């Protein structure tokens, strides 16, 4: 159904089918209007500038999203399980997670709409949503290694945000940042938004520059 809808727009469509019978069906139904590749999407080299549209198998959602964001794709329109979408999207659809914080400097991540179980045939046993990922140009962070190292030293390293930040900032610095950014210091680290975490990372970068 997705392939037929894409073909109807006049777009150049390439499908990746791990099932040889499905690949054959696509070729029979659409002929030269669709390029059907027989293979595993997780091992497929995504073309630069591609736009991804997929109803992903729930069992490979995390691996597929990681594969997409490491590629040169410009955006992805995905049907995924609601819980998985919330892990990648974070706030305001749920609390921030390590996957959501790692994605957002380079990707806009948004849950566009919930889907009804009756939208599917057969209906799934879980709730699904339409998840959109769009590459940010320019990215919000230049030094990916430093950003990931900062998250590794802070997020999830304490029961409260105050404890998490003490591994990077002094007590007076934590208190000042809490006032400036309105941080809930006694709440779990996941309650801080991506924007607050980004501001904290930039503050830590300025401290490193001052030390030099």
Return the residue matching tokens 């979408």: 85
Residue 88 dihedral angles phi and psi, to the nearest 5°: -80, -30
Query: Crossing angle for the helix pair 144-154 and 194-211, nearest 10 degrees?
Result: 110
Q: What are the structural domains, with CATH classification, of the chain?
A: 61-140 (3.40.50.150), 144-211 (1.10.8)
Would the pLDDT of 63 be above 60? yes
R_g of the chain computed on alpha carbons: 21
pLDDT of residue 209: 54
Q: Provide the CB-side half-sphere exposure for 181 (13 A, CA).
A: 23
Would the pLDDT of 46 be above 50? yes
Would the pLDDT of 211 be above 70? no
Would the pLDDT of 56 be above 60? yes
pLDDT tens column, 65-117: 999 999 999 999 999 999 999 999 999 999 999 999 999 999 999 999 999 99
Rounded mean pLDDT of the chain?
Answer: 93
Res. 54 pLDDT band, cuts 50 70 90: very high
The full DSSP string for 178-208 is HHHHT--TTS-GGGS-HHHHHHHHHHHHHHH
pLDDT of residue 156: 84
Contact (CB, 8 A) for 181 and 171: no
pTM of the complete model beyond 0.85: yes
pLDDT tens column, 85-95: 999 999 999 99
pLDDT of residue 121: 87
Contact (CB, 8 A) for 162 and 174: yes
Beta strands in 62-143 (DSSP E): 75-81, 107-115, 128-135
DSSP code, position 124: P
Mean per-residue pLDDT for 40-46?
Answer: 95
CA–CA separation, 59 and 105 (whole Å) = 26
The full DSSP string for 161-179 is HHHHHTTTS-HHHHHHHHH
């Amino acid at each position: 159904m997705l392939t037929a809808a894409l073909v109807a727009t006049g777009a150049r469509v390439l499908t990746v089918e791990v099932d040889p019978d499905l690949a054959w069906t696509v070729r029979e139904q659409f002929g030269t209007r669709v390029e059907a590749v027989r293979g595993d999407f997780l091992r497929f080299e995504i073309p630069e500038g591609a736009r991804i549209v997929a109803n992903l198998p729930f069992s490979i959602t995390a691996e597929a999203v990681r594969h997409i964001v490491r590629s040169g794709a410009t955006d992805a329109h995905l049907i995924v399980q609601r819980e998985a979408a919330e892990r990648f999207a974070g706030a305001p659809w749920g609390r921030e997670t390590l996957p959501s914080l790692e994605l957002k400097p380079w990707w806009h991540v948004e849950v566009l709409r919930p889907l009804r179980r009756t939208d599917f045939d057969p209906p799934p046993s879980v709730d699904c949503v339409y998840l959109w990922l769009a590459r940010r140009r320019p990215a919000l962070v230049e030094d990916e290694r430093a950003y990931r190292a900062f998250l590794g030293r802070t997020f999830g390293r304490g029961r409260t945000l105050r404890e998490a930040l003490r591994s990077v900032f002094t007590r007076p610095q934590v208190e000042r940042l809490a006032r400036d950014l309105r941080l809930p210091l006694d709440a779990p680290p996941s309650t801080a938004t991506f924007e607050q975490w980004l501001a904290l990372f930039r503050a830590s970068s300025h401290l490193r520059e001052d030390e030099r």
